[in-house]
Amino acid sequence: MSVEDAEKLSQAWESELARKPPTIGVVGVSGVGKSSTINTMFRTGLPISHTVACTKEFTEVPLRVQARSGPGAGGQVRLVVIDAPGLGEDVRRDPHYLDMYERHLPECDVVLWVTAARNRAVALEQQYLQRFSALQDRIVFGISQVDLVEPRNWKPASLVPSREQEANIAAIVADRSARLSDVLGREVRMVPYSNYQGYNLEWLFTSLLESCTSGRKWIFEALKNFDLEEWIATAPGVKSEDGLPSDSRKSGGLFGRLRQRSAEQASGDGVGR
Ligand SMILES: Nc1nc2c(ncn2[C@@H]2O[C@H](COP(=O)(O)OP(=O)(O)OP(=O)(O)O)[C@@H](O)[C@H]2O)c(=O)[nH]1
Ligand SMILES: [Mg+2]
């Protein structure tokens, strides 16, 4: 690429980012761990609850990173993650939440639809997904809380599930994917992950970056140039509604776990996915 072409690309990148930063929406039914996922991936402090439905509004979380490479090298790159209220919380609230989803989801370049590993009743999710089928090509599916899959014998400090859990997680992924594929009429791939164990978060994040299908795909492509460790959350820290410490602090965030994983793999302890 000539110097002039590189300069043009850099200007196009900057003006598109200034017009609208890459935007990822995190959605799904109440309690699956949407806010926790954002907290763990990006070290934010969004309120979470261990007991009752928590997020009530679409909440924009601005993130930024110092770009070291790619078309915007040297500049600041912005990314917006949007935390959504949980669907299915209450029959009286659902119409209002669904209106919000209809208004906000089209603004997202990519949508992470979170389901929980131990929930095998998917009729409600199937209905919601049918309603948003026009947006389905931008949806990435995550199955959260896989640390709770039976026989719940995740070895302390291990970065991967036990063999028995791994087999059950595979069965869950196969079952949920088949049932969502059936209603959406396309093959649905799902990423099993755990915020508590920092498991598969990097795979989830990469899937998000790879799933932008609109004319803004090139912006997401360029984001892949950045080292994941460079992402820095700018949102202020907030404690959970119950006053318990945020999971992100407990696990050290995605990047703390990545560092730990590299160290373990280097010493031969890690088992790849
Ligand atoms: N075991 C386990 N629990 C998790 C995980 N991620 C989140 N949780 C728990 O799931 C519960 C709900 O988490 P939230 O992040 O508030 O869920 P949410 O989807 O944002 O809920 P709403 O805001 O009500 O829609 C909390 O008790 C979290 O600690 C995980 O990876 N493993
Ligand atoms: Mg929430």
What structural domains does the chain harbor? 3-266 (3.40.50.300)
Of residues 157 and 84, the one with the higher pLDDT is: 84
Is the beta carbon of 86 within 6 A of some atom in ligand 1?
yes
Q: What is the mean pLDDT of the chain?
A: 83
Task: State the distance from the centre of ligand 2 to the C-alpha of 59, rounded, in angstroms.
Answer: 10
Is the beta carbon of 49 within 6 A of some atom in ligand 1?
yes
Is the beta carbon of 100 within 6 A of some atom in ligand 1?
no
Is the beta carbon of 218 within 6 A of some atom in ligand 1?
no
Is the beta carbon of 251 within 6 A of some atom in ligand 1?
no
- Answer whether residue 246 shows pLDDT above 50: no
Average pLDDT over residues 254-263: 44
Confidence class for position 71, pLDDT limits 50, 70, 90: low
pLDDT for 267: 45
3-state per-residue secondary structure call for the chain: CCHHHHHHHHHHHHHHHHHCCCEEEEEEECCCCHHHHHHHHHCCCCCCCCCCCCCCCCEEEEEEEECCCCCCCCCEEEEEEEECCCECCCCCCHHHHHHHHHHHHHHCCEEEEEEECCCCCCHHHHHHHHHCHHHHHHEEEEEECHHHCCCCCCCCCCCCCCHHHHHHHHHHHHHHHHHHHHHHCCCCCEEECECCCCECHHHHHHHHHHCCCCCCHHHHHHHCCCCHHHCEECCCCCCCCCCCCCHHHHHCHHHHHHHHHHHHHHCCCCCCC
Task: State the distance from the centre of ligand 2 to the C-alpha of 150, rounded, in angstroms.
Answer: 25
Average pLDDT over residues 174-192: 96
Poorest-pLDDT segment among 4-8, 167-171, 210-214, 264-268: 264-268
pLDDT for 187: 94
- Answer whether residue 261 shows pLDDT above 60: no
Of residues 190 and 231, the one with the higher pLDDT is: 190
Confidence class for position 220, pLDDT limits 50, 70, 90: confident
pLDDT for 253: 46
pLDDT for 81: 95
The residue whose C-alpha atom lies closest to atom 8 belonging to ligand 1 is 33
Of residues 237 and 119, the one with the higher pLDDT is: 119
The residue whose C-alpha atom lies closest to atom 12 belonging to ligand 1 is 31
pLDDT digits (tens, 9 = 90+) for 18-67: 889 999 999 999 999 999 999 998 889 999 999 999 999 999 999 887 66
In this prediction the pTM is: 0.85
**What is the rounded distance in angstroms from the CA atom of residue 110 to the CA atom of residue 173?**
21
Task: Say if residues 219 and 16 touch (Cβ distance below 8 Å).
Answer: yes
Average pLDDT over residues 76-86: 90
The residue whose C-alpha atom lies closest to atom 6 belonging to ligand 1 is 33
